[in-house]
Amino acid sequence: MTTQAPAVPSAALPEPPEDAGHSIVPGALYVVATPIGNLGDLSPRACRILAGVDRIAAEDTRTSGQLLAHFGIQRPLVALHDHNEDRIAAELVRQLQSGQSLALISDAGTPLISDPGFALVRAARAAGVPAYAVPGPCAAVAALSVSGLPSDAFVFAGFLPPKQAARRARLEQLGREPRTVIVYESSHRIADTLADLVAVFGPQRPVALSRELSKRFEESYSGTAAGLLEWQAAEANRGRGEFVLLIGGAEQAADLAEGERVLRLLLRELPPSGAARLAAEISGAPRKALYAIAMRLAGETGASAENGDNSGPA
Ligand code: SAM
């Protein structure tokens, strides 16, 4: 005979449905994350909720209609986007209060994260409507998870301003932030933004970039601002697709400056890989970034050949 753990009493919210009877809570709002490129990332729970609610609010009903059709889900769709959200939110909250359930989705990823939904969720919470998160893909978190930059504390700053002067001013402001900064960028502006990055922070700022996360041509760079500019220019395709840019916090930049100072001293005696390893240990700066600097310095002076180092950033 198996014994079951006693049920834990739920806190303020009614118990989530599939944990307790596989039905949708009447009058509840579900905020559902959808794939950012790979359809395999729609969770089974998200599918069940989307198939079970009375109505789905979607940023673009055509885009979401295709996603839902792929999963054989047919529920009434209502458009909720930046231009109608305040007006539609009030009507949707009335429907929720009358006992109808609603799921909120956006074109991709987690709703409200650089996507519509805030006005609806705020109005629903203010009206005492239960709101459940159905977690899943989010490009910012996915990129952070592979960036190699500190992830213990970070700031998500959405999209940078499209005009150069405002973008540089925002970068300067974000550059003082001690935590890792995450921004979204489009293919139209990525080249200009990376050039601004070097102009504002100098070549050595630790940065990372992910493009096309979860898709066929996904790739990520981790290193310095100047290295990123070079990496991106090396292949035409690297200007295409969707991007998440991460900027190492100011403290990490200070570590790197100290790391480079130590590295220059060590390179007088050691090959690049050994010098980078020791400099990283002494300064706390990332070893990979120091190795990239070491290779650049070695290239400038011919030191790599002298020291016979071809071992990489082990
Ligand atoms: N709500 C979404 C989320 O949770 O990530 C973000 C929506 S925002 C309108 C779209 C931006 O997110 C894109 O311009 C890009 O910066 C980023 N993004 C979305 N999907 C991505 C992917 N597969 N790879 C890289 N960046 C992506």
Q: Is the pLDDT of residue 11 over 70?
A: no
Which tens digits make up the pLDDT trace of 147-169?
Answer: 999 999 999 999 999 999 999 99
For residue 4, what pLDDT is reported?
Answer: 38
* Pocket residue to mutate for ligand 1, from 81, 106, 184, most atoms within 8 A of Cβ: 184
Q: Which residue has the tokens 């109505």?
A: 55
Residues 294, 229: Cα–Cα separation, whole Å: 18
More confident residue, 302 or 44: 44
For residue 3, what pLDDT is reported?
Answer: 34
As a whole number, mean pLDDT of residues 238-244 equals 97
- Is any ligand 1 atom within 6 A of the Cβ of residue 193? no
For residue 251, what pLDDT is reported?
Answer: 80
Residues 305, 302: Cα–Cα separation, whole Å: 6
Closest ligand 1 atom to 214 CA:
23
Backbone CA torsion sign across 311, 211, 178, 109:
negative
Residues 226, 234: Cα–Cα separation, whole Å: 12
Q: Is the pLDDT of residue 18 over 60?
A: no
Domain ranges of the chain: 25-134, 139-248, 252-307
Residues 266, 260: Cα–Cα separation, whole Å: 10
Query: Please, which residues have CB within 8 angstroms of residue 130's CB and are 6 or more apart in sequence?
Result: 13, 14, 25, 27, 28, 29
Q: Is the pLDDT of residue 312 over 80?
A: no
Q: Residue 74 — pLDDT band, cuts 50, 70, 90?
A: very high
- Is any ligand 1 atom within 6 A of the Cβ of residue 117? no
More confident residue, 1 or 196: 196
Q: Residue 301 — pLDDT band, cuts 50, 70, 90?
A: low
- Is any ligand 1 atom within 6 A of the Cβ of residue 213? yes
Choose the CATH number for 25-134 among 1.10.357.10, 1.10.8.60, 3.30.365.10, 3.40.1010.10.
3.40.1010.10
Residues 314, 306: Cα–Cα separation, whole Å: 19
The pTM assigned to this predicted structure is 0.83
- Is any ligand 1 atom within 6 A of the Cβ of residue 245? no
User: What residue's CA is closest to ligand 1, atom 11?
Assistant: 184
Per-residue tokens: 263:
């590295």
- Is any ligand 1 atom within 6 A of the Cβ of residue 102? no
Q: Is the pLDDT of residue 1 over 50?
A: no
For residue 19, what pLDDT is reported?
Answer: 52
Which tens digits make up the pLDDT trace of 115-131?
Answer: 999 999 999 999 999 99
As a whole number, mean pLDDT of residues 180-189 equals 97
For residue 280, what pLDDT is reported?
Answer: 92
For residue 207, what pLDDT is reported?
Answer: 95
Q: Residue 10 — pLDDT band, cuts 50, 70, 90?
A: very low
Choose the CATH number for 139-248 among 3.30.950.10, 3.40.50.11900, 3.40.640.10, 3.40.50.720.
3.30.950.10
More confident residue, 295 or 46: 46
How far, in Å, is the centroid of ligand 1 from the Cα of 243? 7
Straight-line distance from the first to the last Cα atom of the chain, in angstroms, rounded to the nearest whole number: 53
As a whole number, mean pLDDT of residues 27-50 equals 98
